[in-house]
A and B are shown apart, each in its own frame.
Chain A
Amino acid sequence: MANGYIMASYVRPLSMYCRAIGLDQSLKMDADDIVHGFFASRLGNCEYLTAWLGSGLRLRQWLRNGLHMYVHETRRANSAHPSDGNVQSEEDVERSSASDYEFEHGWAIAVLELAIKSTIESLERRKRRDEWEMFWSHHIDGNSHASIGERFKLTAAQVAQRTFAVAGQLRDALREILAKDGASAIEIELELRAMMEVMHELRR
């Protein structure tokens, strides 16, 4: 898996997580800088991702745990008293469990954006960009198939067929991303539902 892909997918959720549990304040560093420092320290070593493959964890969970370890190491390196780092780290663990939703939320948003980008690029390559507009107009803007059809000079059934197809392509794009995170094919739907629950929780 390319390091560029990992950084594009995981910088945002890890940065949000850093801020949510105050790692940026405790290290007195920008959250993005902490995450980039973490990636620089780990991703250069191919053993790091090999170890993940044997861990049984989702990649995002592996990286989050790794981030904690990195912060712990950084604290110890910066501290005149190595034990200081240990105390802070335990506090982090307590706060981190309360911020699981923040992390999962950031991750879900990031991967959805990647899936959208991939789907749009695929449609544009096939000169079918209009179909993305139909999909968005129906599912996000709430327009009926019939009203979209008037704009695109198609029947409601044709619009329904196209928006359905785009939803499938978006789902496939997301499935690829989730597979890279470690989800098996049969777990994809569970992952989608879990993402939905995370969105619900944050709006309450």
Chain B
Amino acid sequence: MNFGDESRGASPVVSTAVNPAIAMQLLSAMLGAQAHPIDRLAAHCAGSRGMEWSGEIFGQHPELPTTLDGWIARKSVAKAAIIERDLHAGDPRALGAFLVYVSAIAGALAFHGQWITSGSPAEIRRGLPLLGPFLEPTWSNIFARAVERLTQMDSEQK
């Protein structure tokens, strides 16, 4: 269902057809503030314009950091821009900052094999494989490498 250019008062065709991406978005909306930010972000990225949206976010930071400190700095800037209240309300700007935050963690893992956050490891671990497939190829690959690195780190610890 897309109401894009319709003016107020128009009566768009009602569709109740739900696909998995829409289902995730609806469930996030219903869970409200209790939705995990990762689920909310994944639902946003899974939407019909999700890849376009995430592409615009990444487009604001076209150069990938070349050092671990660069990824840490990017993560810190993004973290400062995340307004918790807006994040839980699904505000696209807060979600955008959260995407940059998570992608900086993924980048540090993928390129330097380093875990750079004190945030919930379980939540980030769950989020990386969840978000990756919804992103454009460059970032999808980085997230995939980050997941591989995490798996490798797990086996090294055993």
Contacts and interface: CB of A to CB of B under 8 A. Distances in A.
Contacts of B30: 167, 170-171, 174, 192
A135 B29 contact: yes
Contacts of B49: 141-142
A139 B28 contact: yes
A177 interface: no
Interface residues of A, number: 42
B8 A120 contact: no
A200 B40 CA distance: 12
Nearest to B133: A203
A144 interface: yes
Contacts of B4: 141
Nearest to A197: B39
Contacts of B24: 196, 199-200
Contacts of B39: 196, 200
Contact of B20 (A174, A189, A203): A203
Contacts of A200: 24, 39, 42, 130
Interface size class of B (residues with CB under 8 A): 35 or more
B65 interface: no
B3 A133 contact: yes
A128 interface: no
B118 to A, nearest CB: 25
Contact of B16 (A105, A120, A164): A120
Interface in B130-156: 130, 133
Contacts of B91: 144-145
A84 interface: no
B120 interface: no
Nearest to A117: B16
Interface of B: 1-4, 7-8, 11-12, 14, 16-32, 34, 39, 42, 44, 46-50, 53, 89-93, 129-130, 133
17 contacts: A113-B17, A116-B16, A116-B18, A133-B3, A138-B90, A140-B26, A141-B48, A142-B53, A142-B92, A143-B92, A144-B92, A151-B7, A167-B29, A192-B30, A196-B27, A196-B31, A199-B27
5 nearest CB pairs, A to B? A171-B30, A139-B29, A167-B29, A116-B16, A113-B16
